[in-house]
Chain A
């Protein structure tokens, strides 16, 4: 599993700053494979797509 903000291993290092930042940011990395996702932000939400693992939504 990977941090969806910085793309590094979720098990290693401190991701508390990532978690705090994520309150005002959509995810950027797929937590399953760490690929950069295609992210579309709209006024009331976001969608994030990994070619391998599909679409995530707010």
Chain B
């Protein structure tokens, strides 16, 4: 057995202490023949330190497209010739989206906006929208609205937003290759404010942006240092018209190695399947990931692309005997 798996068993499984960057890199470099054993270990770690429940979430875009930032993977940047047009969701439709999400058994509903940070109009929409959802639907509300000021952090807390998503997207050393309109450190600053406010921190990123395997390990280590409550893991779905539109998708086995490595770096975090899993992993790989460290899913559609039907994921969870985390367990 590879030495790194022995070490991970003793350190991560037994003691709940995540691997360091060198250990993560060793995991990412494991041979294909070691993959089944790696996934089993990552699954054991997840079961021991998180339990069998799977947290189910739905997401919706409150404001789509026309973003002034230049994240090279993103079809919602207004700086590329992407076919995605700017559009706002009205409040009744937002509440309906929350209701549909709750109907799947999900405990989380995340409201997302394609912005550098919120302006007065977006904050007003959030006040109205979050209030309407809380009155009509039994679900926890999370938000992802870009970089925040301290006043905006405080206002979101007052609205009852319980978790804030802000992805670092990739490691610090690769970030300038992907985004030039703001810095990794600015993102880190927002995350620090969110943490101090008492909101739960949700922070992940996208694999397959052109980062090296060393940089993938660097990213996992930096996330572990941040210690987020939740880590959403996306795989690049190359979008027409974006600078990364012609990149290849991540190989299924590399995606599974990464899932296991992120779990071994962060034994207690909520590690969520987010965008791109359908094209990178397909149905079979989706199952392998749920048996290799993943303990949360986004069900239904994404912000500008579609997912598989929520029922397909819920049936799979049932088959795997993984109960959906109940709303009461999150309160």
A residues in contact (CB < 8 Å) with B: 6-7, 23-26, 28-29, 36-46
| A41 CB contacts on chain B under 8 angstroms | 60-61, 64, 301-306
| B87 CB contacts on chain A under 8 angstroms | 38-40
How many whole Å from B30's CB to the nearest CB in chain A?
30
For the complex, what is the distance from the CA of A25 to the CA of B305, rounded to whole Å?
5
Closest to B97 in A: A42
26 intermolecular pairs with C-beta atoms under 8 Å apart: A6-B240, A24-B237, A24-B305, A25-B306, A26-B305, A26-B306, A29-B83, A38-B85, A40-B61, A40-B64, A40-B87, A40-B89, A41-B61, A41-B64, A41-B306, A42-B60, A42-B89, A42-B100, A43-B100, A43-B299, A43-B300, A43-B301, A43-B310, A44-B97, A44-B300, A46-B306
**A43 and B97 form a contact (CB under 8 A):** yes
How many whole Å from B165's CB to the nearest CB in chain A?
16
For the complex, what is the distance from the CA of A21 to the CA of B59, rounded to whole Å?
21
Q: Does B84 make an interface contact (CB < 8 A)?
A: yes
**B85 and A39 form a contact (CB under 8 A):** yes
Give which listed residue, A36, A43, A44, A46, contacts B85 with CB less than 8 A: A36
Closest to B88 in A: A40
Question: Across the A-B interface, how many residue pairs have beta carbons closer than 8 Å?
Answer: 68
CB neighbors of A among B296-330 (8 A): 299-307, 310
Closest to A23 in B: B306
Number of contacting residues on B, CB 8 A?
A: 30
Q: Does B123 make an interface contact (CB < 8 A)?
A: no
For the complex, what is the distance from the CA of A23 to the CA of B306, rounded to whole Å?
8
How many whole Å from B180's CB to the nearest CB in chain A?
25
Give which listed residue, B83, B84, B301, contacts A46 with CB less than 8 A: B301
| A45 CB contacts on chain B under 8 angstroms | 301
B residues in contact (CB < 8 Å) with A: 58-61, 64, 83-87, 89, 93, 96-97, 100-101, 237, 240, 278-279, 299-307, 310
| B101 CB contacts on chain A under 8 angstroms | 43
For the complex, what is the distance from the CA of A27 to the CA of B96, rounded to whole Å?
22
**A39 and B84 form a contact (CB under 8 A):** yes
For the complex, what is the distance from the CA of A23 to the CA of B283, rounded to whole Å?
14
Give which listed residue, A23, A36, A42, contacts B83 with CB less than 8 A: A36
| A42 CB contacts on chain B under 8 angstroms | 60, 89, 93, 96-97, 100, 301
**B278 and A24 form a contact (CB under 8 A):** yes
For the complex, what is the distance from the CA of A15 to the CA of B300, rounded to whole Å?
26
Given A43-B97, A46-B306, 10 other A-B residues pairs in contact with their CB atoms under 8 A: A25-B306, A26-B304, A28-B83, A38-B86, A41-B303, A41-B304, A43-B299, A43-B310, A44-B301, A45-B301
For the complex, what is the distance from the CA of A3 to the CA of B23, rounded to whole Å?
48
**A44 and B310 form a contact (CB under 8 A):** yes
| B60 CB contacts on chain A under 8 angstroms | 41-43
| A25 CB contacts on chain B under 8 angstroms | 304-306
For the complex, what is the distance from the CA of A46 to the CA of B64, rounded to whole Å?
13
| A40 CB contacts on chain B under 8 angstroms | 61, 64, 87, 89, 93
For the complex, what is the distance from the CA of A38 to the CA of B86, rounded to whole Å?
7
For the complex, what is the distance from the CA of A39 to the CA of B278, rounded to whole Å?
21
For the complex, what is the distance from the CA of A13 to the CA of B67, rounded to whole Å?
32
Given contacts A42-B60, A42-B93, contact A28 B301 (CB under 8 A): no
| B304 CB contacts on chain A under 8 angstroms | 25-26, 39, 41
For the complex, what is the distance from the CA of A36 to the CA of B83, rounded to whole Å?
6
For the complex, what is the distance from the CA of A24 to the CA of B237, rounded to whole Å?
10
